[in-house]
Amino acid sequence: MLVLALDTATPASTAALVEVTADRLTGVAERRTVDPRAHGEKLAPEISATLAEAEVRPGDLGAIVAGLGPGPFTGLRVGLATAASMGQALGIPTYGVCSLDGIGRAAGPGRVLVATDARRREVYFATYVDGVRLFGPEVAKPADVAEVLGQAYRKRTSEAAESAALSESEIIESATALAGVEAARLAAVLARAEIDAVVDDPDEDRGYWAKKLRAFDRAAGEGALKYGDIFGVPVEEHLLYPPGAALVALAAERIRSGAPSEQLTPLYLRRPDAVEPAGRKPVLT
């Protein structure tokens, strides 16, 4: 099946054609233009050029995958509106994926910080371990990212401890009913060990995030490159925008199973700059 991938969540507009079979994905063609003010003008020609390069007609497509963002309002809606209209016109399903996940997946093994430019001197960001999202997406000033991650870690640790404590009380109650007081005491020891493992496991210690983000092996995305001096993490400069093949890979299971078409809901994360006027201003005559 031939799948078209579209993304306009970053300063780049991307159109890619990917062949999806039962056991593999093959990139066929891809076009990308980096111009944050020209998504509307560039995306349609990119789609035409991508299909022409592969000698494919729109009617040959079996599905469309679109990056949902997060991204600035104007650019992001270009890609989603195009994907939705094409899917409806061609009678094929559309699937949405987080644009940051495309970069995170393409980054591969290790702990990776993905950040794209959100303008207003902010970044959209998320964290990944071996290509799987661990936290995010969120939006913040680059200097505040470490603190946001630190707060998330502390919340996660607290929730894990509460969950483990609940399990401890349940085990004690069950053990007492089944085997008496001694078994209950043993169960309590085991449950407490589980709490300690959840809270104190060094491998789970995301507290390093609050120490200049040194826990990350590297960073990716044009936001990471733009604010690299703040993040202090090596940047993969070849991976600044979501690759089309990675976006399709994220939706591959849905594509192969013939899942129903999805509504493409954008991830804005913040309100647009334009606001509706509060009221009419009085005019003196």
Domain residue ranges in the chain = 2-108+241-257, 143-210
How high is the pLDDT of residue 205? Answer: 46
DSSP letter at 28 equals E
Contact 115, 104 (CB under 8 A): no
pTM: 0.79
Residue numbers of the chain with a pLDDT score lower than 50: 186-187, 189-207, 209-210, 212
Helices (H), 28-144: 39-53, 73-90, 99-107
Q: Which CATH class is domain 2-108+241-257?
A: alpha beta
User: Which residues have CB under 8 Å from 64's CB, separation 6+?
Assistant: 3, 4, 5, 6, 83, 86, 87, 92, 93, 94, 95
The pair of structure tokens assigned to 9 is 């969540």
- Considering just the CA atoms, what is the radius of gyration of the chain in Å? 23
The pLDDT tens digits for 111-166 are 999 999 999 999 999 999 999 999 999 999 999 998 888 887 777 666 655 665 55
